[in-house]
Chains A and B, each alone.
Chain A
Amino acid sequence: MLLEARMRRRAALALTYLKFSLVLSVEVATAPVIAGLARRAESPEAILALQNRARRLALRWLCPAYFERQDR
């Protein structure tokens, strides 16, 4: 039982790392595009706000337990 719980915890941690790596990869891949758009846009804040919305979704996906209380 104890071993099983430990395995589950490790699997959850590995999954979080995997998700984090994926989010970071997407961030790195899109960073030059975001920077370029923000430079050229009439309202850079709109681009940054859009990026922030995507980051909120990523945070929810990364650690859903963190936001559970608010969702209930």
Chain B
Amino acid sequence: MSDAAIERLESREVLRCPVTREPLRFDAEAQALCSPGHRYPVHVEQGVPFADLRVASSADGNREHQRAVYESEDSRYLREGEGDEAAFMRAFIAERTRGRARAKDRLFARAFEGLRLSTASRALEIGCNDGRYLNWLSAEVGCRGVGVDLSRSAIERAARARPADRTEFHVADADALPLSSGSMDAIISFDVFEHLGHRTFVQVMHECARVLRAGGRMAVYVVSQRDRFTLHETLRAMTDGRVGVDSSEGHAFENFIAPDFFRSVAREAGLEVDGVEAYHGFWTLFVEEELKGRVPGALVRMLEWLDRPLTDREYGNGFLACCSKRG
């Protein structure tokens, strides 16, 4: 590996060995090493370097299943942008920065504002997949970004689709983040934590608290266990489970997270929950899933209003939680 490629690895100052949390040095044989001797391969995809910083011993059944789901040919993420991933990414970001976003993305846009980032800030995305949300955040506020995902093919895609050199991506486990403590101003993670299993979720929240600086903020969207009156659950009940269970991406109810459970885990990890906003009740989910979001914004807002009796009581297919680390 050339020195020039390593030079381009802007995040190397905050990258750490996920086992010992020692700083990493990069050698000419395309390896990242820590002083006790752990070695991690470094790859280059279309001129963009990324490291595979997974902990070898951490593989479990759930994790392997998730990796298989996101690396399979059936993955919608693999199909999206097929052919010209960079053009897909540019269009994705352009639409959202112009405000042309699906209802759920408008929720994320509000969360981005709450992170209070500047061009000097650095944000982490956990489970970044092809990096679309981190790239969008970086385009909105000009911050630097580090994305991690356990799928190597997702990170290769992220490297190929990267629109600017403000973002970098690495293969890593969410419960052993290869980053120095207090190095991140913000963390985002959308539709990821419900895949982890509750035990790993608790570990990941502690890792988030570790890598966030004091006063840093976090915005996560997770699929909720409090989904009793949502469209999915209604259809499931009406069809004896035949319709309404979104299992194609490794979703399992026991891994979903209830808002109160999220609050208690966050508190235990040293994070303050500033707000929880349930979303995707009955009608908003109907629009996104059945009408594919192709409806006027005014109608979406009306349907959001119809869902208020549900979402006010935190009934929703998912919820956005905004946290901060105590200063």
Contact = CB atoms under 8 A, between A and B. Distances in A.
A31 interface: yes
Interface of B: 229, 234-235, 237-240, 242-243, 282-283, 302, 305-306, 308-310, 313, 315
Contact of B234 (A27, A47, A56): A56
B229 A56 contact: no
Contact of A48 (B302, B305, B309): B309
A5 interface: no
Query: From DSSP, what is the main secondary structure of chain A's interface residues?
Result: helix
A52 B229 contact: yes
Contact of B306 (A28, A49, A52, A67): A28
Contacts of A48: 229, 309-310, 313, 315
B239 A55 contact: no
B268 to A, nearest CB: 28
Interface residues of A, number: 21
25 contacts: A27-B283, A28-B302, A28-B306, A31-B305, A31-B306, A35-B308, A38-B313, A44-B309, A48-B309, A48-B315, A49-B229, A51-B309, A52-B229, A52-B234, A52-B282, A55-B282, A56-B237, A56-B238, A59-B235, A60-B238, A67-B238, A69-B239, A70-B239, A70-B240, A70-B242
B306 A27 contact: yes
Interface string A6-45: 0000000000000000000001100100110010000011
A50 B308 CA distance: 16
Contacts of B243: 66
Query: From DSSP, what is the main secondary structure of chain B's interface residues?
Result: helix
Contacts, number: 45
A22 to B, nearest CB: 15
Given A49-B229, A56-B234, A59-B234, A35 B242 contact: no
A68 to B, nearest CB: 10
Contacts of A66: 243
